[in-house]
Structure 1
Amino acid sequence: MSTSHTPIARVDFIEGLAKGLSVLESFDTQRQRLNATQAAERAGLTRAAARRHLLTLAHLGYLETDGSHYWLSPKVLRFSGSYLASARLPRLIQPTLNRLAALTRESFSAVVLDEDEVVIVARSVSPGGQRLMAYGLHLGARLPAHATSTGRVLLAAKSRGELSAWLKGRELARLTPRTTVDHKAFRAVIDQVRADDFAVAREEHELGVFALAVPLRNVQGQTLAALNVVASPQRLEESTLRQDLLPLLLDAARELRPLL
């Protein structure tokens, strides 16, 4: 998954397809059920156009409806399922996640950036032990980039100019009392992540959840994804972090680099 867009000639652009996809993207965890008016507002369409797209998507089986409101059907999982089954990145990373989980009894994930969210493309749950997992950390889960260790690692891969463009006009949602929401403070956090080459998020996305992430780079030095572990606060204290989990993640990232 990429945040970049492939250039396309205007004559090749299918506007109807783009509008239909924008209607599908209107559904999220905050808005699970939409009527035509709500879908129109979220997709930037007229109500009449949104209604036609909703009816078509329901006819094709991608939405379910009670005649007034619409919601996503299980058929939309075909897209994510196909990606996770066929994409090269998750397949390359999965054995490493399994090995790390077996070695530490912690839970590991590989994550990519998609605009203002990160998406989990591979994960491994510890085979016993703590089984410490944040809510919703499943394959395909989307989390706010600004409040997660993986998101901060991926944002740190941007230049300062690119980060400024990403932040412009963007409100950083306060998810817990510990979430960094001030733009100046957030820039300082990302600068520190760049200097450290890792990120620790302590209860900024969810209370009780502590996570550590490092970048996954290819041989050209491009950051393609982030590797993280969700662990107990004791495991992520500065005294143990640098001699315990961090070396494991950095070694794994180095091992994966020639493969990515």
Structure 2
Amino acid sequence: MSRKGTVKRQTTGHIMSRVGIRLPLILWSLAVLYPIIWMIIGSFKSNAEIYANPWGIPESFNFQNFIDAWQNYNIGVSLFNSLIVTVLGSLLTLVLAVPTAYALERMVFRGSTLLFNLYISAMMIPMVLGWIPLFFLLMNFNMLDNIYGLTVVYAVSQLPFSIFVLTTFMSSIPKELEESAAIDGMSPYGVLLKIITPLATSGIITVTIMNAIQFWNEYFMALIFLQSRENYTLGLAIDFISNEAEYTNAWGTLFASLTIAMIPVIILYAIFQRRISKGMTEGAIKG
């Protein structure tokens, strides 16, 4: 067989292999993106256009649906509430998880292995089992129907996952760096803040973004622990609009609200996508 024929067969096989890998990914991407694009287009349509031509392009891009969602359904207040619980919840999780992960990874004491296993086993417990006890606990502390009480619940619920990821990153940091700092007179808190934390930046960013997306999209705990409309997060506000849309035909307003809720997550993930991929890859390799 000639060299040219062999090269041609290899080239054809390589192309077929690439097509076989990429075609399912392309089809899956289209299946995911199409409903999102349809929703965004629908947010600029009037109710008449939605019923007359639900799959078509709007005749004119009208922002009235966004105005109605902002003014009539207080989606701006819910957006602000979600922003509070997401930012404060992510920060509180880091404040609790970083020193805990460092202590469990670096400091050997009686029961440290048992404590670490308890944290990890907590990841296997369905959160739904704690909703009723948490409800009465928050009620006893007068934190029911309070976004700050919900923030604490969010932060604690993500502690096992955050500690697990952070201990994986911290385990790869050479202990000699800490020993040198200790010889120079640096305290354990100084070692944590000035040496460990900067070196574990990839893990911290990964954990923060994953937690932020979880808090932003969470619905069920907010449904249980919040009752007042002025305290609604975006998930509850959109659910309220969805129920209203069945009787008022406010489908365009619903699509606009969904678009408002989706945009921050897309922007956040687009900005830190490489950081997330890098952090998860490094964590898998180091683990």
Same fold judged by TM-score > 0.5?
no
TM-score if structure 2 supplies the norm length? Answer: 0.20
Q: Which has the higher strand share?
A: 1
TM-score, length-scaled by structure 1:
0.21
Greater fraction helix: 2
**Which structure carries more relative contact order (alpha carbon 8 Å, separation 6+)?**
2
Structure 1 or 2, whichever has the larger Rg, is 2
